[in-house]
Amino acid sequence: MPDRSNPGKAKHIRQIPHVVPSPPHHEGRNVMHAPVLVLNASYEPINICAARRAIVLVLKGVAMTEEENGHYLHAARIAMRVPSVIRLLEYRRIPHQTRALSRKNILLRDRNTCQYCGKSLPSSELTLDHVVPRSRGGLSTWENLVACCHSCNRSKGNQLSSEAGMKLLREPRAFSLHTSRHIMRMLGRSDAKWRKYLFY
């Protein structure tokens, strides 16, 4: 029913509470609670929300579906695929406080893996390497710090990785703490479709 008292609002939002998952899937209401990865307009992962919320954002025109989770949603006048990944259409500024730069968070971002030799090690056996050494003006930033094993750290010394004949597994980038906490919690049951957005 159109909402006459509030003509500016998208009408289909009102139908969301009556949504039922499609019959071939027997996961009941869980389908609407399935986690959906939310990307900024820039494709940076910024949050995780329930499918129900993601569908509302898509129907409002705030976000678009990037990946689907294979389920259908049938409501009064809607038949749509349930998203697994959505992306905001407008860039949202994420406050810098959410990105605490710390040894712990760098190791978390790099998944406790030496970014030169690829060995996964306990935190106690990893150190932080300045990609551009401090002695050569390198800063302590998300983009210039990587997890590194002691052996690679010794070989690299005060050289650039190119001078030491070493290569980074991937370009280090800022990672939202908020997102990474969520991701760690959800990773076990998340969709394989998330991967390409999470570890870029």
Compute how many other C-beta atoms are within 10 angstroms of the C-beta atom of residue 122: 8
Structure tokens at 104: 């712990």
Return the number of the residue (58 or 126) whose C-beta is nearest Zn ion.
126
Give me the 80-119 binding string for Zn ion, x by CB under 5 A, dash otherwise: ----------------------------------x-xx--
Amino acid present at 21 = P
* Burial grade of 114 (CB within 10 A; 0-12, 13-18, 19 or more): buried
- Shortest Cβ 115–Zn ion spacing (Å): 8
Residue numbers 112-171 binding Zn ion by CB under 5 A: 114, 116-117, 149, 152
Structure tokens at 136: 């050569």
Return the number of the residue (129 or 191) whose C-beta is nearest Zn ion.
129
Give me the 24-63 binding string for Zn ion, x by CB under 5 A, dash otherwise: ----------------------------------------
Return the number of the residue (63 or 114) whose C-beta is nearest Zn ion.
114
Region of 43 please: left (phi>0), alpha (psi -120 to 50) or beta.
left
Total residues in contact with Zn ion, by rule CB under 5 A: 5
Distances (CA, A) of 52 to 1, 14, 19, 193: 20, 13, 9, 18
Structure tokens at 149: 């094993």
- Shortest Cβ 146–Zn ion spacing (Å): 10
- Shortest Cβ 109–Zn ion spacing (Å): 16
Return the number of the residue (16 or 169) whose C-beta is nearest Zn ion.
169
**Distance (Å, whole) CA 198 – CA 183:** 8
- Shortest Cβ 65–Zn ion spacing (Å): 39
Could you tell me which residues come within 8 angstroms of residue 166 by beta carbon, excluding any fewer than 6 positions away?
116, 152, 155, 156
Query: Which residues of this chain interact with Zn ion, rule CB under 5 A?
Result: 114, 116-117, 149, 152
